[in-house]
Amino acid sequence: MRWNQIKYAGWGNVLTADTQVARPERHSALEELITDCDHILPIGSQRSYGDAAIATEGKGLKTERMDRLLDFDPDTGTLEVEAGIKLGEILRLFAPRGWKPAVVPGTGMTTVGGAIANDVHGKNHHIDGSFGQHVESLVLLTADGNARRISRKKEAGLFKATIGGVGQTGLITSAILKLHPCPSTTMSVSENRIANLSDFVDAFEASTAPYQVGWIDTLAKGGDLGRGILEEAEFSAQPAATIMNQKTKSIPMTPPGFAVSGPIVKIFNALYLRRVPVDGRTVDRPINEFFFPLDKISDWNRLYGKKGFYQFQCVLPMERAKDGLSDLLEIVSDGGIASPLAVLKKMGEGRAGYLSFPMEGYTLAIDLPNRAQTPAILSDLAEVTERHQGRIYLAKDGAISSDAIARMYPEIGKFREQVNKVDPGHKFISAMAKRLNLRGQS
Amino acid sequence: MNRTWIIVGATSSMARAFARKVAEDGCHVLLAGRDLADMKRTKKDCELRGAPSAYAVMFDARKPGTFDEICVKAAVQDGEINVAVFVGSMPEQSAIDTDPTLIDGTIQDSFTGPAQLLHRLAPLMEERGCGTVIGVGSVAGDRGRLSNYVYGSAKAGFHTYLAGLRNRLGRSGVHVVTVKPGFVDTAMTWGIEGMFLVAAPESVADDLLKAVKKKRNTIYTPWFWRYIMLIICHVPEFIFKKLKI
């Protein structure tokens, strides 16, 4: 297997690696790859924002060429795939046949391996829970070079350490997923303007829609703090049809940093808000465009310029939601960094791993361009999150401290026990695991 | 009508991308290559993407005995038979300089092996009076140069063979497409220095299907390689022999 010296970055383009990366195409190459190197990190399609997929402590292993469908039972919707396949591809192939991945995040570019390793969630978390809950079993290639199939019944501890375990237990080579019925390839989406944060939470609580997501104008202050748009969606009555590949545009050059400066974001946010009429509207949208709105521009992350950006995402427990969210939004609106993308969502209890992110409550995600004052803002946001008994999402993080993470993830002890047992030599290691001392041995 | 694609060298990423597209288009797929375990996964992948049937059979360009099964399987398929040949091997030129016997294998993999197989399948295709042969050559076959002239000469031989085959099969309604890819993002080019404008296997597969539809004779993929090679082929030999490209 040939190694390729590659420089690459997390999705936020702030944290980077310059290391040797292999990209195997055949299953037979894997065992030797794993056993032959001291340290290695599985890499999906690099959609985690911070350093979850950054291999600074060893080599990298890109899984994107191992992306085949292995088995499907059309009666139960049980699908076995190689872990490098992207969720958007599964949706494209199976939605016309009446099935979809039970949970998809905001981009279809995520691989199944990445979705498991970060136990991702989507717009239906309040009902359907996290991605890992719909994984029946998976095959894990561990540090000793052995492949083992693990599940809730077989090696349950290792299974729970692997789901949400950010690649630290081994290489996920394939997985069996329980798909959900998909009655239509069109979604009926209701969009309504929301006046402020308190109304937003009330609107989420009143909503019965299976899919919900809120967009927040982070520049609004005072009585308008937390204003935005609530999207509620359900499957349309239109029958399933073939999904065309979404036409994607790419950004021809890295734009200068001022592309996301205050005045421009202010105009963008104002226009975005007014897109939806005062009385709201209901529109039909193709399923892939509804689930993956950002995939229309394949490399939108470059809009933030050469310095890149951080994404902050936390979840706060229900009883602290209104107060906590208001504190967080005040930090952002007072911080003088314009964020065009802020997303609010209600979460249920669903989680599948020791280091899974979700808890019942509200999750807020905010893009923050990387400026001089950004680290201070991130640190304030983390402090407020902790004060309100919340938790920060590893798939997004590139800034928090190891002490805070240990306090936010109460099951980290169980994770450490499993990961240190299955990989005592720390063969699988990422920049994130090192920075956050996820293995608890420094 | 029933359509079947025989895909030779099916473990390469270009072949895999092509197999998926014809499978989604509803064609039967016959995968031929050396790594049977790997092809069994691709076979399942093709079936689940829409191929009414898929098979994986052993093919080794250096062992003509392995061609029998492909010919037998092809003969029992009804309707249109198509063949796409993706095989070839490119040892480092320095390895060949140390061990010139490597030349034999390179030529077998890239030229004589696939040519023999196509020759055996040709009568069947003539009899059916339809179908397409895609032969994947290389821009390296357009002009011999320092870094890979053994591989290049094997591919040049294959190009000439394909031109002749086109001349023959065209008389019975079978079309032959010669494909000359530039740099494609495959396991063969991964980690090799000096790669530029590398094309994704999926976009190459799209180009192949377009060429089949439009009955093109020779295509470069991506398209701009036609012009790069036009320039390279027109550099006078007294200058070219001093270049290191």
Which residue, chain included where needed, has tokens 């976009």? Answer: B203
Distance of CA B123 to the CA centre of its chain: 20
Q: Which chain A residues contact residue B191 at CB under 8 A? A: 2-5
- Does the pLDDT at position A43 exceed 90? yes
pLDDT tens-digit map of A328-350: 999 998 887 878 779 999 999 99
pLDDT of residue B206: 96
Report the gap between the CA of B99 and the closest CA in chain A (Å).
21
Q: Determine how β-strand A16-22 pairs with β-strand A59-62.
A: parallel
DSSP class of A244: P
CB B113 within 8 A of CB B89: no
| Strand-pair partners of A285 | A187
Contact B13 A82 (CB under 8 A): no
Report the gap between the CA of B20 and the closest CA in chain A (Å).
10
pLDDT, average across residues A192-214? 96
Q: How many CA atoms lie within 13 A of A207 on its CB side?
A: 28
* DSSP string for A245-302: PPP-B--SSPPPGGGGSHHHHHHHHHHHHHTS-TT-EEEEEEHHHHH-GGGGBTTGGG
pLDDT tens-digit map of A351-387: 999 999 999 999 999 999 999 999 999 999 999 999 9
Q: Which residues contact A213 (CB under 8 A, 6 or more apart)?
A: A123, A230, A231, A343, A344, A345
pLDDT of residue A247: 66
Between CA A113 and CA A143 the distance in angstroms is 17
Q: Which band of pLDDT confidence, cut at 50, 70 and 90, is reported for residue A272?
A: confident
pLDDT of residue B155: 97
Q: Determine how β-strand A186-194 pairs with β-strand A228-235.
A: antiparallel
Single out the residue of A14, A6, A4, A81 nearest to residue A52, CA to CA: A14
Structural domain includes residue B174: yes
Q: Choose the most confident range, by mean pLDDT, from A254-268, A360-374, B188-202.
A: A360-374
pLDDT of residue A1: 65
More confident residue, A293 or A201: A201
Which of A23, A69, A93 is the closest to B44 by Cβ? A69
Which of A3, A28, A71 is the closest to B38 by Cβ? A28
More confident residue, A146 or A263: A146
Residue of A nearest to B191 (CA): A4
Q: Which band of pLDDT confidence, cut at 50, 70 and 90, is reported for residue B235?
A: very high
Between CA B218 and CA A70 the distance in angstroms is 35
Q: Which chain B residues contact residue A23 at CB under 8 A? A: 187, 190
- Does the pLDDT at position A255 exceed 80? no
Q: Which residues contact B37 (CB under 8 A, 6 or more apart)?
A: A27, A28
Q: What are the structure tokens assigned to A151, written together?
A: 């599940």
Phi-psi domain of B138 (left: phi exceeds 0; alpha: psi -120 through 50; beta: other): beta
* DSSP string for B116-176: HHHHHHHHHHHHHT--EEEEE--GGGTS--TTSHHHHHHHHHHHHHHHHHHHHHGGGT-EE
Q: Which chain B residues contact residue A71 at CB under 8 A? A: 44, 48
Q: Which band of pLDDT confidence, cut at 50, 70 and 90, is reported for residue B195?
A: confident
Between CA A228 and CA A215 the distance in angstroms is 5
pLDDT tens-digit map of B130-171: 999 999 999 999 999 988 999 999 999 999 999 999 999 999
More confident residue, A256 or B68: B68
Single out the residue of A129, A180, A138, A128 nearest to residue A160, CA to CA: A138
- Does the pLDDT at position A2 exceed 90? no
Which residue, chain included where needed, has tokens 């030349």? Answer: B103
- Does the pLDDT at position A300 exceed 90? no
The structural domain count of chain B equals 1
Contact B41 A5 (CB under 8 A): no
Q: Which band of pLDDT confidence, cut at 50, 70 and 90, is reported for residue A244?
A: low
pLDDT of residue A246: 62
pLDDT tens-digit map of B44-64: 999 999 999 999 999 999 999
Contact B42 A23 (CB under 8 A): no
Asked if residue A424 has a cis previous peptide bond (ω within 30° of 0), the answer is no
Between CA B180 and CA A189 the distance in angstroms is 47
Which of A4, A26, A71 is the closest to B35 by Cβ? A26
Report the gap between the CA of B87 and the closest CA in chain A (Å).
16
pLDDT tens-digit map of A48-77: 999 999 998 899 999 999 999 999 999 999
Q: Which chain B residues contact residue A93 at CB under 8 A? A: 48-49
Contact B11 A93 (CB under 8 A): no
pLDDT of residue A245: 63
| Lowest mean per-residue pLDDT among A224-238, A242-256, B15-29, B226-240 | A242-256
Its sign, for the CA torsion B134, B139, B142, B145, is negative
What is the share, in percent, of chain A residues with pLDDT greater than 90? 81
The SS3 call for residue A123 is coil
Between CA A298 and CA A56 the distance in angstroms is 26
Between CA A137 and CA A355 the distance in angstroms is 18
Report the gap between the CA of B169 and the closest CA in chain A (Å).
35
pLDDT of residue A442: 52
Structural domain includes residue B245: no
pLDDT, average across residues B23-27? 97
Contact B41 A27 (CB under 8 A): yes
pLDDT of residue B19: 98
Return the number of other C-beta atoms located less than 10 Å from residue A183's C-beta: 15
| Strand-pair partners of A138 | A150, A175
Q: Does B187 touch chain A (CB under 8 A)?
A: yes
* Torsion from C-alpha of B139, B142, B145, B150, nearest 10 degrees: 80
Between CA A17 and CA A43 the distance in angstroms is 12
Which range of residues forms the domain containing residue B41? 3-240
The SS3 call for residue A103 is coil
pLDDT of residue B191: 83
Which of A3, A28, A71 is the closest to B44 by Cβ? A71
Interface pTM (ipTM) of the complex? 0.92
pLDDT, average across residues A3-13? 93
Which of B13, B45, B190 is the closest to A69 by Cβ? B45
B56: CATH: 3.40.50.720
